[in-house]
Structure 1
Amino acid sequence: MAIPMFICSFTKRKFSLRLIPSAHLNNIPYLKILPNPTNITALLVCILLQLAFSAAYPAAKHPDPTKPAHPNRQRDLEGAIRHYRFYKPDSALLLIRKGMADCQSKKDYSCIGEMHNHLGIIHENRGRLESARACYQLSIKAFRQSGDSVGIANELNRLGVLALRKSNYPDAANHFFAALKLYQQQAHKAGIAECY
C-alpha cells in the first residue's frame, strides 16, 4: 500500500498543506488552511497531522537483508556475500557468520563449505594466505561430507591458485590436476576450462 505524504509550510500570512499521493508527485495544489495562523497554531496542526498519518499508515517494517521473505534465502545471502567480499569485506564477514550459523543449525555441509570458501577468498584478498588455505581445507572437508565433488574441485582449484601465488608450481599443478579430474568426472565444462 502506498503511503501518502504531506508537506506543511507556513508563513505569517498563510498556512498550507500539500498532500502527495504516491501516484502523483508533481502538480499537486496546496490546500490552504488557516489564512492568518500563528506559528504555534501551524506547528500544532502539522504535528497533529503527522500523528494522524502515522496512526493511519504505520511504518512498514523493512525486511532484514539476511532474512528474505521467500524460500531462496540461502541463495540471496550468498549473492550478498559474493557482492560484499571484494568491496566491503567486513560486511561480508558479518553475513558469513550469519550464514555459517544457519548452515550449522541445519547441518547443511554443502552450505558450510560455501561459507568457508567465501571466508577463504576474503583472507586471500587480504594477503592472509595461510588462513585462506585453512579455510579452503575446511571447505573441502565439508564438501566431502555432503558428497559435492564439484565443490571439492572448486576448492582444489583455489588451493592451486594459492600455491601459484607462493610460486610453489609443483603443488599448484597437483591441485589443478586433481580439480580437473573431478570436473571431468562431472562433465563440468566451466570447471574444466578454469583448470587450464
Structure 2
Amino acid sequence: MTRTRVAMAAAAVAMAAAAVPCTTTAASAVTTVQTVKGALSAPGGMSYAQCPDGTQLIGGGYAGAGTYDSTGEVRDTVDVSAPSADRQGAWGARMHKGTVTAYALCDSDSVPTYAVRGAAASAGSTSYAGCLNSTNLIGGGYAMDPVYGADGTPHDLIEANTPSQYLQNTWAAKAHSGTATAYALCRDYAISE
C-alpha cells in the first residue's frame, strides 16, 4: 500500500510540474514582424497595405465583404490577393463588387524582398511568376479576371494559388474560366557577415 501511495504522489507531483506555466523573458517575446492594415476599398476597388520604411513585405492577405443577391447567393469573387509588383513592399487585394481591406506582414529584420508578376494565363492554363536565381521564393498570390454570367453569377474561381510543383522558386496561379496572373514574393539571399 505504501508503494501505491508513493507512486500516486510521484504522479501528482509530475502532473503539477507539467501544469506550471513556462515563464519567458521580455526579450524572447520581442518580434520583428508587424501587421499593417490597408484602407477599406471602394466597392470593386483595390486596397493596399504598405510596409513602412525599414521593413520588408513577407506576406499578406485580406478581409472582405462580398455582395449577395436577394436570396443570399454569393455574387462576388476575390479578384486580387497578391504582393504588388507596382507598389513594392505592399500587399494588394480587390473584390469584384464588394469591399476589401488588405493586410501586410512586414519584417524589420528581413533581407530585401520584391514582387514579380507573371504573364496572364487564359482559362485552364497556369500563370507562373519566378524569382531570380539569387533569391528565394517566400510566398505569392494572384490576380484574376473572372467570368460572370449575364445575371451576375460568378462562374469562376482560383483553382491554384501555390508554389509550383513543376518549377523551382516559382509561384503558380490558375483560374477555372477567366484569366489568372501569378505573383511571386521573392527574398534576397541572406549575406553572411
Q: TM-score, normalised by structure 1?
A: 0.24
More helix by share: 1
Structure with the greater relative contact order (CA < 8 A, sep ≥ 6): 1 or 2? Answer: 2
